[in-house]
Amino acid sequence: MLNSILQDIHDKGYAVTNNIFYNSELTLINKLFTEEKHRFIPAHLGNGAQRVRDVSIRGDHTLWLDPKAPLEILQRPTLLLKDLQVELNQRFYLGLKEFEYHLAYYSPGSFYKKHLDTFEKDSSRTISFVFYLNEEWTTEDGGELVLYHKKGEEIIHPGPGKLVVFLSRDFPHEVRPSKKERRTLTGWMHNKILM
């Protein structure tokens, strides 16, 4: 699986892998979303003093987690990310140091307009990744991730246990509205030590 991701990153700048999670893991993770929903906070735009909430641009809610002390149900994907970080460094010399992630949900009808994952004053985000966590999803449910590139756009439909990895600086992207709550584990690999 890692070799396939690395080859796709080399060839296209992004990779899509299906069935990363077992059904039993998705059930437990979705139980966590239900039980801990009160801990999720509205997501903001920007960083530092520039942070603002603007639902006309971004409408998700997030729960930040510590990948150095992963929840038991996230240990396997966390180990996968650690292995992927090592392999990306060995193959592409990216200088990746650490990664961060959060659980996120988009309520029906919410979205995130076209954006880049890097900040004007901090471009340390090098690799973006999204694990899709809904137990069931069809193309009619919407919530697509759209990656924009020189040749046009790549539309990626959410799917249970799907993983998307892409070069943060190379792909402006958006999240389209969905008809039901869209759940993910989303994060970034950085080329610096995080404070």
Cα 147 from chain centre: 13
What is the Cα–Cα distance from 87 to 5, expressed in whole angstroms? 10
Model pLDDT for residues 41-73, shown as the tens digit of each residue: 999 997 777 788 999 999 999 999 999 999 999
How buried is residue 129: exposed, middle or buried, by Cβ count under 10 Å (0-12/13-18/19+)? buried
Q: What's the pTM? A: 0.96
Report pLDDT for 77: 97
If you write DSSP's letter for every residue of 57-111 in order, what string do you get? TB--EEEEE-TTS--GGGHHHHHHHHHHHHHHHHHH-----EEEEEEEEE-TT--
Residue with the two structure tokens 């193959």: 91
- Strand 152-156 with 182-190, pairing: unpaired
* Token pair 């046009």: residue: 152
16 CB neighbour count, 10 Å cutoff:
20
- Strands 173-175 and 112-115, bridge-based pairing: antiparallel
Span 98-133, pLDDT tens digits? 999 999 999 999 999 999 999 877 789 999 999 999
Single-letter code of the amino acid located at 1: M
Q: Is pLDDT above 80 for 1?
A: yes
